[in-house]
Amino acid sequence: MHRRLPPLNAIKAFEATARLGAVATAARELNVTRGAVSQQIAKLEDFLGKALFTRHNNQLFLTDVGLAVKSASTEMMDELAAMTERLLGGAVPSGLAISVIPSIGVRWLNRHLADYLRLYPDVRLDLRIEDDPIDFYRNPVDVRICYGEHLYPEFVTVPFLQDQATPMCTPKFLKSRRLVAGSPMALRDEDLIHIAWRAGLSSYPTWSAWFARSGITREPRVELGHKVDMSSLAIDLARSSEGVALGQSMFAEDELASGELVRPFECEIPLQYQYCAVHSRSRARNSLLQNFLNWLTSLPGTQQRPALRSAKGRA
C-alpha cells in the first residue's frame, strides 16, 4: 500500500519551530538559515493546504491544525531519536515526563515513586513541579497530575482519587487539651489550624464547612488560630503538636497509619473535585504511559481506573 507522506525535511523544520517557539531558535538547532526553516514550513503548509502558524506581535502561535501536527511530529521525532540511540549508542532507558502540582508532588507522589521504580527499573523520570495551567506544547510532558477534571478540556482526563479533609492532631495535643473524641464543641478557636487556600481553590473545605457538616453552626475566629496556605503545612504544624489541622487524608496517610497523628472526630468532608491524570490523545497508546496510569490507579485509596475519556467524550 502506497504511503502518502508529507515532506520529511519540512516536518523536521516545523517540529523544531513549534517545539522551540521561534524560527531563529529552530534554525540554530538544525544548523540551517532562518530562511531555510521558513521555506520548509511554507512547503509543509502548501502540502497540507492549511496554515500551521499565525503571527501576532512578532510571535508565532500554532493554529488548531498546527497543534495536531506538532503533537504527532514531536512523538515521531522522539521515537526516531530513541531508535537511533539504541542502534548507535546502546540501550537508552525509557523516559517518562510527569508534571504535577506542588502539593501532590512533594507530599504524596514522592512517597510512592520508589515502588513504581522498583516495578519499572529501566524508566528514567523527568518530574516537574508546576502550578496550573501548564502548556503541553511548549514544554511537552507525558502526563499531568492536577486537581479537577475541568482544567484541560481538550485532553484525556483520568480521575484517580477523591480525597477528603479530616481533623488531625498528635496524641500529645489531644491529651493536653483534654479533647473528647466525638465532641467537636470541645475544640477552641485557638486550637484550629486554618488553610488560606490560594485564588482559584475556593472549593476546598474550611473549618466552618466542617462544623456545619458535623451539625454545628459555628464560625471560628480565624485570627485566634494558625493560618497557612497549603494543606501540607497545616499537617506539619499538627505534627508539631501546635493544633488541630483540617488536613487532607492522602497527605497524612503515613502519619495516620503509624499513629503519629490521630483523627479525634469521625466526620470527614470531601473535596469538591477529584485528582486527575491528564494526557494528550496522541499518547493514549503509549505503553510507558499506560503502565504508569495502571500503577497510579492501583495505589491504596485510589479508585479503579475508569475508561479513558476527554471532556468532549473522545479518547
Highest mean pLDDT pick, 74-83, 217-226, 279-288: 217-226
Residues of the chain with CATH 3.40.190.10: 94-160+274-310, 164-270
Average pLDDT over residues 160-179: 88
First to last CA, the chain: 28
Residue 68, sorted as left (phi over 0), alpha (psi -120 to 50) or beta, turns out to be alpha
CATH of domain 164-270: 3.40.190.10
Closest CA to 194 of 230, 160, 164: 230
Q: What angle do CA 235, 238, 243 make, to 5 degrees?
A: 135
pLDDT at 84: 78
Q: Are 244 and 168 in contact (CB under 8 A)?
A: yes
Q: What's the whole-number average pLDDT of the chain?
A: 87
Average pLDDT over residues 45-60: 89
3-state SS, 237-253, equals HHHCCCCEEEEEHHHHH
Closest CA to 192 of 154, 150, 223, 155: 223
> In Å, what is the CA distance from 55 to each residue of 14, 51, 52, 85?
15, 11, 10, 36
CATH of domain 94-160+274-310: 3.40.190.10
pLDDT at 312: 39
pLDDT at 175: 84
CATH fold of 8-89: Arc Repressor Mutant, subunit A (1.10.10)
Residues of the chain with CATH 1.10.10.10: 8-89
pLDDT at 76: 85
pLDDT at 203: 62
pLDDT of 262 higher than 80: yes
Q: Are 256 and 262 in contact (CB under 8 A)?
A: yes
pLDDT at 180: 61
Q: What angle do CA 83, 88, 91 make, to 5 degrees?
A: 65
Overall pTM > 0.85: no
Average pLDDT over residues 146-172: 93
Residue with cell 502550578: 131
Helix (H) or strand (E) holding 39: helix 34-48
Radius of gyration of the chain from its Cα atoms, rounded to whole angstroms:
25
**Digit-coded pLDDT (tens) for 92-138:** 557 899 999 998 998 999 999 999 999 999 899 999 999 989 988 77
The SS3 assignment for 135 reads coil
pLDDT at 81: 79
Helix (H) or strand (E) holding 54: strand 53-56
pLDDT at 118: 94
pLDDT at 58: 80
Q: Are 161 and 274 in contact (CB under 8 A)?
A: yes
pLDDT of 310 higher than 50: no
For CA atoms 197, 202, 207, 213, give the dihedral sign: negative
